[in-house]
Amino acid sequence: MPGTMPIVLRRLAAWFACAGGVVACAVALMVVASIAGRAAMSQPIPGDVELTQFGIGLAIALCLPWAQLRGANIIVDFFTQRAGAGALRRLDGLGSLLLAAMVGVLAWRSAVGAASVAEAQEQTMILGLPMWWSYAILSPGLALTAVIALVQAVLHWGGRPAFVEAE
């Protein structure tokens, strides 16, 4: 493993974040169109709430790896302000490992939930979209976040840079 985050993970996180941004913009445009349609013609986009829920869930899951890669998550350092660099590295490594475990479990359970809901053939109320989509779309972003956090734990404990700076 090189001294910093592997390039493949950096590129995947960037692609995921770009896709998440595109999805969020598409949802925003759809919401504006639905509100305009409701105001102007009393005709909103059918299923706009369902589509918004799917889209924003997807956008968030796709942006999580980039936030983790950049160290952009909220950090509360009140109790560690006076800790030395070594202690901070060990704590950051532990935090990354715990995050990797949590997000890994979420990715796994989202995939299992998707399979279960697909088997039950549940659908959304208005558009009749398969409900398993809403679970399945979360798994790739969560899994990539887990992998990045796991690599960061190793990098922290090895005393190497774990967060990617602005390029």
Phi-psi region of 152 (alpha: psi -120 to 50; beta: other; left: phi over 0): alpha
Give the pLDDT band (50/70/90) at residue 88: confident
d(CA 65, CA 45): 31
Span 31-45, average pLDDT: 94
Sequence-ordered list of residues with C-beta below 8 angstroms from that of 124, at least 6 positions apart, any chain: 47, 50, 131
Question: Can you spell out the DSSP letters for 66-87?
Answer: HHHHHT-S----GGGTT--HHH
pTM over 0.95: no
Which tokens go with 112? 């299992």
> pLDDT at position 164, please?
78
pLDDT in tens, 48-62: 999 999 999 999 999
Q: What pLDDT score does 61 carry?
A: 96
User: What is the per-residue pLDDT across 111-139, written as a single tens digit (0 to 9) for each?
Assistant: 999 999 999 999 999 999 999 999 999 99
